[in-house]
Amino acid sequence: MAVLSRIPKTLTRTTTSSIKPLSSYISRSFSSTTLNSETDLKVPSFLSRNSPPLRQEPKDRNVQWVFLGCPGVGKGTYASRLSSRLGIPHIATGDLVREELNSSGTLSSQLKEIVNQGKLVSDEIIISLLSKRLEAGEAKGESGFILDGFPRTIRQAEILEGVTDVDLVVNLKLREEALLAKCLGRRICSHCGGNYNIACIDIKGENGKPGIYMAPLPAPPQCVPNLIQRADDTEEVVKERLRIYNETSRPVEEFYRNRRKLLEFELPGGIPEAWPKLLEALNLDHKDKHIAAA
C-alpha cells in the first residue's frame, strides 16, 4: 500500500524553515534560455531582489506537501480533500493552466496547442503561473500549501528546493489499465463545472496483483444533458501523456526518494476505499467517516 506505513506526527505541523528568494533561482535556472514576450517570467514583487526579505514563518506553520502521480490518477481529488481538512491552500498547476486557457491572456493560444497535443507545459510557463499564484497567496497571508502537478521535472524540483522546504511528497500510484479507463471516463458539466466519471472499473486480481474496483461517479440528473469530455481525454493523448510522464517525471520521484521525503501510496480502489487508507498513511485520524463515501 504505502512504502512508509505512517508518517511521523511531527510532519503534520513543522518548524520554521529558511526561505530563499525565488528570483535568484529563476534567473539562474533560465539564464541560458531565450524567452519571448509571451513567456517572459514576471517575478512577483514580494520575491524581487530589491524587496524586503519574506516574512518569517511562524514556528508552527502549516505543512508544505507535494502530490505526484500520473496525469488523471486523482492528485487533485485527494489534495483538495486534504486541503479542506487541514485548512491549507491546494495549488494545482493544472487549474492554473486551465484558468489561463479560459482567459484572454497572451499565453492562452500557445497553451491550447500544447494541451491538445498532450504535451507537458514548459517550465517557463509553469513557473510564471505559479509565481503569480504564490504572490496572491502571500498577499492574503496564506501559510503552507499542497502542490499538485508541480514539480514535474528535476529542474522544477531544484527550483522549489531552493525556495522552501518540502515536508513530504505523496506519490499516488494506479495500475495503467485502470488509469486509462479512468481518464477516458471523465466528464465535466459545462453548466456548473462539476467533475464526474462514467467508467466502471473492475479489474480482477492476477499474478499476485490484487483486483481493483472503482465505481462510476454519476452526475446528478440536471447535469447529465450538459456533460462534456475534455478535448485532451482521448486514448491517443492520454497514452502520450503517460509516456511523457514516465520520461520526465519519474526522475522527480527518485529525487525525493533520495531525500527520504517520498511516500508511495498505491490506490486500492475508488474514494471510499482509498481515502481512509490515505489518512492512515498520513497519520491523520479518520473521524469524518462520511467523507469517504461522498
Active site residues: 75, 152, 186, 230, 241
256-271: b or e for each residue (b if 16 or more CB lie within 10 Å)? beeeebbbbbbbbbbb
The total number of residues shown for the chain amounts to 294
189: three-class secondary structure by DSSP? strand
Contacts of 78 (CB under 8 A, 6+ apart): 67, 170, 172, 274, 275, 278
Q: Which contacts qualify for 118-123: CB closer than 8 Å, 24 or more apart?
A: 118/232, 118/236, 118/237, 118/238, 118/240, 118/241, 118/244, 119/240, 119/244, 120/152, 120/244, 120/245, 120/248, 121/93, 121/97, 122/39, 123/29, 123/30, 123/153, 123/155, 123/156
Distance CA 287, CA 283 (A): 12
At 59, which amino acid appears? K
